[in-house]
Amino acid sequence: MALLNAISSGCSCEAIEALLDEREAANEARHDDDWLALAYAAKDLRVLSLLLDRGFGVDTLDRKGRPVIFAAVKLGNVDVVDLLLDRGARLDITSPADKWTVLHEAVEAVPVNRAVVESILRRPVNVDAVHRIKLRTPLHYAAMYGHTAIVRMLLEAGAKVDPPDYRTT
């Protein structure tokens, strides 16, 4: 709990590193706190780098099955999104119940961050992934919310205006 408190309150990297050293010395097992720590750290590039360097999993999942990159995308921090992707965060992970993707999250973020969407689109990503409950792709959401620039970006990335229904594929 001390680690989470330190991260969420903006402690220095040195203080967080000391807590990590103590945690490792005590051979404490990691658990759900890991995802929370990474989510809090997604606000601070230096802290996130430190946690990743110390072995925290870049694709650690929360209770809904979503990795920390979802939190970084929601916060709109392109530097953190780039760091996570550069460290191997997967864009093909979806929430188990509804197939919500990182790209869906980026397009629906309020406010939408064009740089985050661009960062995601520079990598191999399924631009036509269909949300299992609402049957919408990232393009549908971008159009629905009036994000003209994002619509253009998705179309340039190969998004189909009428992708096949996921139930028939």
- Distance from C-alpha of 147 to C-alpha of 114, rounded to nearest angstrom: 9
Residues 82-112 pLDDT 10s: 999 999 999 988 877 677 899 999 998 878 8
pLDDT per residue as tens digits for the range 13-59: 888 888 888 877 666 655 556 666 666 666 788 888 888 888 888 88
For residue 9, the number of C-alpha atoms closer than 13 Å in the C-beta half-sphere is 9
**CATH code, residues 91-169:** 1.25.40.20
State pLDDT tens for residues 129-156.
988 778 889 999 999 999 999 999 999 9
Boundaries of every domain in the chain: 1-83, 91-169
Distance CA 139, CA 107 (A): 8
CATH code 2.50.20.10 for 1-83: no
pLDDT of the residue at 86: 95
Tell me the whole-structure pTM to 2 decimals.
Answer: 0.80
